[in-house]
Structure 1
Amino acid sequence: MYITIIGMGRIGQAIQHLLKSEHTIECYDTDPSKLITQKPIEDIIPHSEIIFLCVPSWALRTSLLQIRPWISKNTSLVCLSKGIDEQTTQTMDEILEQVLPTHAFAMLIGPMMAEELLQDRGGVGVLACSQKELFKTIRDIFDPSLKLIPSTEVHAIALAGVLKNIYAMGLGIADALLFSQNYKGWFVSRAIEEMMVILKTLGYNPDILLGPAGLADFIATGFSPYSNNRAVGEAFVKGGADQKRGGGSVSITPLLRLIGSKEIKLPLLFGLDEIVNHGANPQIIYKKIFEEDADF
């Protein structure tokens, strides 16, 4: 099978590492220095049977528009991007449906820290798609150290990926503030509660968040030293946040727009918005949220 990976950051490298050697694998990145050699994208895409999209959420639309002129009608896509478009409030699955409406695609989300995958330490992903055959095809091209779980709840899984990134960034802030494990345990419980409220408010089954695409991915991302979203959270305390960008930080504003004026209590999310978008002091915000916990 002819497989292309677009985006050769750490997760793109991990996907390449986990694909079975019997396949023909091509890689592409807008930064060609990440690869020893790189073919022109117009030479790669027409032959691709499966394309993995391993780009940041804010780059997904541009990447899809770049490949659209050359993509075959039978090509399937697997998207690992997680986020909400800041301009349109579209999630990644919605962008895929808009830009390439006739192509089959899947969202791949779960506890899959790239550094651990590259060390053959295993991972678990929820592969959300509407076609059973596509799930089987994707499952079979991977080394069995990556366990894939099927789901047909594509949009809800995409939203779960967004939520876990936002709240994992919040755990990074708690870490940088040197809060105790007890406090972080409290934060996890409240974060899961808020995520479930948000998903239910948006009309989806909140129980999805108790599985690998929610709780498991949140814990892995929020506590892993390899996590970019956790590092972004730390930067809001230690400095340098203006130099860092993560799927969690850029998704807060469009998520709030999706929620709209609905009267729901989301103190963690609102507090993160104050820190990320309005320059509030993280120590003061977190102290206030913790002290007012009785009012949750």
Structure 2
Amino acid sequence: MKKPHVVVLGMGEIGTVLFSLVKKRGYSIEAWDKVPQKVPHQKSLFEIIPKADILFLCIPSWNLPNVVKSIGPFIHKQTIIVGLAKGLQATKETPYTFLSNSFPHNEVVMLGGAMLAEEVALGMPGIAVFAGKKESARVLVKDCFKNTNVVSFESKDPEVNSFLSILKNVYALGLGIGDGIGWGGNGRALLALEALKEMELLCSLKGIKKDLVYGQSGFVDLIATGFSVYSKNVEVGKLIVSTKKTLPNSEGLVSLEPLKKIIGSSSSFPLFNAIYQAALRKEKAGVIFSRYIKKIQQKG
């Protein structure tokens, strides 16, 4: 059977890695990036999008609306859309919900899990979860990485996996803040434990089974992201501590405001509230987190 034609939109770190892996598997593949110099002899979206059987959107959540508008007129109903964004929209939509609403006639598969691009590029294992409602779509996408260093899993619930991916990025910010204020591995391990407790509670509010928090899109991705030197969210968390300059975007950072709207004034999420207050930078992160840790001690 002829292999699907693949298109990768966004040739950042993860897009470049996925492009390389899929190309080595013998697939016909094209790429596009907003910086044309990243793709030699780059064609227009008008030329490449209609040919895509599988379309990887290696795009951060804050750029999704513009990208969707750009590709919407050219995309076929048969194209499988693979989303990699892991941040909430301002509307509180997960990337899966946003893409499904934007392309109601297309199958949408979310690629989650611990996929640190720098590690995968070095030949280390990547842990990928292909989450989609239709098995045939999941299998087609998963097969792109067969016999590579990507360890693949499937899920029938893309919305749950999308939500878990968002939560782990938010709490990875907290682990970055902990690193920035000098807590070391011991303190950050405690933060990870408390993060998992709050992720459980947030999942309960959304009607999601708590045990799913401990899968590849939750616990595994949180640990990989929260303790990695390659993590953008950890980097931004450290910058929250060290600089007063405008922070660069990260999936965790852009998710804070919409997640705060979901949580509201609840006092059941003290770690999230500490991260949120630290990101606002109205008070030093060290002071906020010291106050938080005292509350944890009092509970214990």
Q: TM-score range with shorter-chain normalisation?
A: over 0.9
Structure 2 counterpart of 1:233? 237
CA distance in 1, matches of 2:39, 2:178: 36
* Aligned residues between the structures: 294
Q: TM-score, normalised by structure 1?
A: 0.95
3-state SS, counterpart of residue 207 of structure 1:
helix
> In the alignment, is residue 53 of structure 1 matched against residue 57 of structure 2?
yes
Moved over 3 A (4+): none
CA distance in 1, matches of 2:237, 2:56: 27
> In the alignment, is residue 156 of structure 1 matched against residue 160 of structure 2?
yes
RMSD: 1.4
Residue 14 of structure 1: which of 14, 17, 40 is its match?
17
3-state SS, counterpart of residue 145 of structure 2:
coil
Structure 1 counterpart of 2:142? 139
**Shift of residue 241, structure 1, vs aligned partner:** 5.3
3-state SS, counterpart of residue 73 of structure 2:
coil
Structure 1 counterpart of 2:279? 276
1:75 maps to a residue whose letter is T
1:208-262 Cα deviation digits (max 9, x unpaired): 110110011001111111111110101111116514110001101101212345x
**Shift of residue 41, structure 1, vs aligned partner:** 0.8
**Shift of residue 29, structure 1, vs aligned partner:** 1.0
3-state SS, counterpart of residue 68 of structure 1:
helix
Q: How does 1:197-208 map to 2 (within 5 A)?
A: 197-208=201-212
1:252 maps to a residue whose letter is L
CA distance in 2, matches of 1:198, 1:90: 15
Residue 132 of structure 2: which of 126, 129, 132 is its match?
129
* Unmatched tracts of structure 2, length 5 or more: none
CA distance in 1, matches of 2:43, 2:87: 29
Q: Percent of counterpart pairs with the same letter?
A: 32
Residues 237 and 282, structure 1, Cα contact 8 Å, conserved in 2: yes
Residues 54 and 80, structure 1, Cα contact 8 Å, conserved in 2: yes
CA distance in 1, matches of 2:146, 2:139: 13
1:156 maps to a residue whose letter is V
3-state SS, counterpart of residue 69 of structure 1:
helix
2:95 maps to a residue whose letter is M
Structure 2 counterpart of 1:90? 93
> In the alignment, is residue 112 of structure 1 matched against residue 115 of structure 2?
yes
Q: TM-score, normalised by structure 2?
A: 0.94
